Structure 1
Amino acid sequence: MDVTKVPLDAEEMIKGLKRWVECESPTYDKPSVDRMAALAADDMKALGFSVEIIPGPDGLGDCVRATFPHPRQGEPGVLISGHIDTVHPLGTLEKLPFRRDGDLCWGPGICDMKGGNYIAMSAVKALAEMGVETPLPVTILLTSDEEIGTPGCRAMIEAEAAKNKYVLVPEPAWARNTVVTGRYAIARYHLTALGRPSHAGAALKAGQSAVKMMARKLIEIEDMTDDDCTFSVSVMHGGQWVNCVPTIARAECLSMAKRQEDLDRGTGKILAFNRQEADGTGFVVEKSVVRPVWEASAGTMELYERARRLGNELGFDLAHASEGGGSDGNFTGAMGLPTLDGLGVVGRDVHTLNEHIEVSSLASRGKLIAGLLAELGA
């Protein structure tokens, strides 16, 4: 198959993607994520997919599982794994509206990763329009909690991946003409400072401020960052009344390491902060969700070589690397399944009010995915 002939047009694709971007879907807003799930499901049904809406984890949005008709349906095939939740709160469209200037287009979640999901489903349909039947059946799984570490959907992703031979992840490309063949290990921690109450005006010294304690611990924790393991504290809450010495302050910490042993070493260091005194004051550290390190297997590198050859046919030479931002590819890669990540659109500044993509990459990266689907298993 001539991959350059795959009928994908960036100008048409950006029109469809606009609807997805303007359907805001922050992780913690279930009704919004449910609307995004329904929109994606309807679009995939219109393209010929068989679609199932799967209830999401407790309190979170729905997920979508879609399969394209295939004579070998039910046999191990190719799983395309993506997520429909974003980090952008409702109302971000007012500050970051969908807008275009030449080859650049902005919008919340357009790069991470609505653009990638959109081109993946478009690639499947484009092959069908060409009369090209993929050697293996294709399943698309869109989940709803990736941006908070996939605490509820991990088991679903791993179960679906285990039914397949290959996994493609259309997360955004980390740089132009790149794909991802590994990801760092990641852990999250809940931090709680426990103080002692008093009146902040009449008896300040009688109390112990949980906010002050958290501020000091934050600096100590972040200062543990080195080249092998990082620590970043955020999402802080503390106190309720300014005239009361705060007794509780909470925060979250994200830790990332290139190797599992480095993350484990970091876990030991942060857990050493866990300490409670007899009077009830103290500092509590609780380990939360984790992503295992994913190191490229022979199967992953074989996928990369295929992608690189297809990229050359499309006019660009793909590089690869292990990347720091986590994804659900961590799970499938750690399972030993051939996994290729970072197959999505080219863009920059994800998770910011400047998140944008290169419109032309909708077609070029879509053709890359189509080329992989057309030959995997052949």
Structure 2
Amino acid sequence: MTNPLDLPFDTEEMLEGLRPWIETESPTFDAAAVNRMMDLVQHEMATLGARVERIPGRMGLGDSLRATMPHPRAGEGGILLLGHMDTVHPVGTLEKLPFRREGDICTGPGLMDMKGGNYVYLDALRKLLAAGIDTSLPVTVLFTPDEEIGTPSTRALIEAEAKRHQFILVPEPARPDGGAVIGRYAIARFNLQTRGRPSHAGWALADGRSAIAEMARHVAIIEGMTTEDCTFSVGVFHAGQWVNCVSSVCDAEVLSMAKTQELLDAGVEKMLALNDDSGDVVMEVRRGVTRPVWEPDQPGTMAMLDLANEIAGEIGFHMTGQSAGGGSDGNFTGFLGLPTLDSIGVRGKGLHTLTEHIEVDSLVERARLAAGLFTRLGT
């Protein structure tokens, strides 16, 4: 039998297949755009002979895809490939960040986070099917539309599906050293609103109470609470419509990351303590979606890492494993205690920026890793 690591993975073929994925822009808040991406992927998975289910979106967000891959025991719980198809880049980003290869670098919105990894793992399944090689366990693929905003609409779907499986693979981008993630810090989001009193900014400035000024004062307070182990960042700020009006409403969003659940709980208390309606300007803080701590060193996950490192050694690299900040849907499966290997996707830099790119040689490297995992997990 052909060694799965020796399957004919081809860099140029993979780049050609990736191009339409990247040029189908899919920012989270544009449900129609996300669904165009899901259309494309649904067709590709159906072509592989998968039984594909389209799960309608909710909360105004896009759809999800669940695909049961061909296997003698298809439908039984085995390996779950879990990824998201939404990106942080608005439609039109291709004009500034086109899909383009320059030597060992290839750029494009969402290429690193995480369409590249999703594509590579599907390509591994494609090559295994073409070679007539069964995966060690049945494989289910679940692609979701809302990871970049904390997975508000699909967390329950992810958790329910994950509980049916023995192993979870999350091809988020690799860590800077190429290693995997075996635990993740907790993430909490907060929605803030200040409400003041409007007035004409030129005619009667003193009569107004600026919601913008109050929120700006709190930006310094909130980001000043940051420590090495628990961070706070104001990432969204919306207010004002007319420059000649004192703004009466200002909205903001805050992201907090903590290395332990205890630190996150303390950070949540600090944020909620900012609620204040005693003055002329009201400050309201509401807790948003949360990603729980995924504690590292769980036996099932560490066994997956050992296997991944064994496969990596045969390919020619070393696979390290560490906890990491930056949430993913692996937080949910890891928190449930399910064996989860995260950040096993492509290598690159600049995710969430206009320099987002991957290292082209990581495409074949990671496809071989994927083929090895798909054929050895559970054996």
Q: Same fold (TM over 0.5)?
A: yes
Q: Which residue of the partner structure matches residue 290 of structure 2?
A: 290
Aligned to 2:237: 236
User: Is the contact made by 1:188 and 1:289 (CA closer than 8 Å) also made in structure 2?
Assistant: yes
Paired AA for residue 293 in structure 1? V
Deviation track 1:174-199 (CA, whole Å, cap 9, x = no partner) reads: 22421111111000000101111222
Q: Aligned equivalents of 1:75 and 1:11: distance in 2? A: 35
Query: Once the two structures are superposed, what CA deviation does each residue of 1:101-148 show, in whole Å capped at 9, x if it has no partner?
Result: 111100000010000110111111212223221121001100000000
Instruction: Quote the Cα distance in structure 2 between the aligned partners of 1:8 and 1:79.
Output: 22
User: What amino acid is the match of 2:317?
Assistant: F
Deviation (angstroms), 1:69 = 1.2
Q: Which residue of 2 aligns with 1:51?
A: 52
Q: Give, in whole Å, the separation in 2 of the partners of 1:278 and 1:103.
A: 58
Deviations 1:319-338 (A, max 9, x none): 11111111000000001000
Shift, 1:278, TM fit = 6.9
Contact kept, 8 Å, 2:31 with 2:62, in 1: the verdict is yes
Alignment of 1:1-378 (within 5 A): 2-277=3-278, 281-296=281-296, 297-378=298-379
> What is the DSSP-based 3-state SS (H/G/I as helix, E as strand, rest coil) of the residue aligned with 2:66?
strand
SS at 2:255 equivalent:
strand
User: Within 1, Cα distance between the matches of 2:30 and 2:178?
Assistant: 34
Q: Deviations over 1:308-354 (max 9, x none)?
A: 01000000011111111110000000010000000111110000000
Deviation track 1:133-173 (CA, whole Å, cap 9, x = no partner) reads 11210011000000000000000000100111110000000
The count of aligned residue pairs is 377
TM-score (norm 2): 0.97
Q: Separation in 2 of the partners of 1:312 and 1:189? A: 43
Q: AA paired with 1:187?
A: A
Query: What are the Cα deviations for residues 286-329 of structure 1, in whole angstroms up to 9, with x where unaligned?
Result: 00000000012110000000000100000001111111111000
| Preserved contact between residue 234 and residue 255 of structure 2 (Cα < 8 Å) | yes
- Confirm or deny: 8 A CA contact 2:66 2:140 kept in the other structure: yes
SS in 2 for 1:199: coil
If the length of structure 1 is used for normalisation, what is the TM-score? 0.98
Contact kept, 8 Å, 2:100 with 2:107, in 1: the verdict is yes
Point out where structure 2 has 5 or more consecutive residues left out of the alignment. Answer: none
- Looking at structure 2, the residues matched to 142 and 100 of structure 1 have their Cα atoms a distance apart, in angstroms, of 26
Instruction: Using the TM superposition, give the Cα deviation of residue 248 of structure 1 relative to its aligned residue in structure 2, in angstroms.
Output: 0.4
State percent identity of aligned pairs: 56
RMSD: 1.1
Question: Alignment partner of 1:93: what SS?
Answer: helix
Are the counterparts in 1 of residues 5 and 369 from structure 2 also a CA contact under 8 Å? no
**Which stretch has the larger CA shift, 120-129 or 218-227?**
120-129
1:47, distance to aligned residue in structure 2 (A) = 2.0
| CA offsets 1:193-239 (integer angstroms, 9 cap, x no match) | 11112221121112110000000001100000001100000211112
